[in-house]
Amino acid sequence: MEFLRHPLYSILAVILIGAVSGALAYWTAGGPRGAVVAVMAGIGAAFLGFHAAMLSNLATGVILMPFGVALVISLLASFALRDRAR
């Protein structure tokens, strides 16, 4: 997992995490529109979570910790927005 320290791979991983969590929230909502908004909100929340983890120094020894925080924050934000849209 050492390759995730490279900036390009970490950015791509955060984008993938956010897109998947946004798509999951959209898929469970079952709405006819808003897929792009859900995916973009997931990506934005993933970036915020990733950078919050990096700034709070959670990434000291574990490479996957910021990505885990990005996943949790992205899922929370995506599902909160999904429930808000109903």
**What's the domain range around 45?**
7-85
- Percentage with pLDDT > 90 across the chain: 44
| In-domain check, residue 1 | no
Residue 60's pLDDT band, with cuts at 50, 70 and 90, is low
* Number of domains into which the chain is organized: 1
| In-domain check, residue 2 | no
Tell me the pLDDT tens digit for each residue of 16-56.
Answer: 999 999 999 888 876 656 788 889 999 999 999 999 998 98
| In-domain check, residue 74 | yes
As a three-state string, the secondary structure of the chain is: CHHHHCHHHHHHHHHHHHHHHHHHHHHHHCCCCCHHHHHHHHHHHHHHHHHHHHHCCCCCCCCCHHHHHHHHHHHHHHHHHHHHHC
Q: What global pTM score does this model have?
A: 0.85
| In-domain check, residue 24 | yes
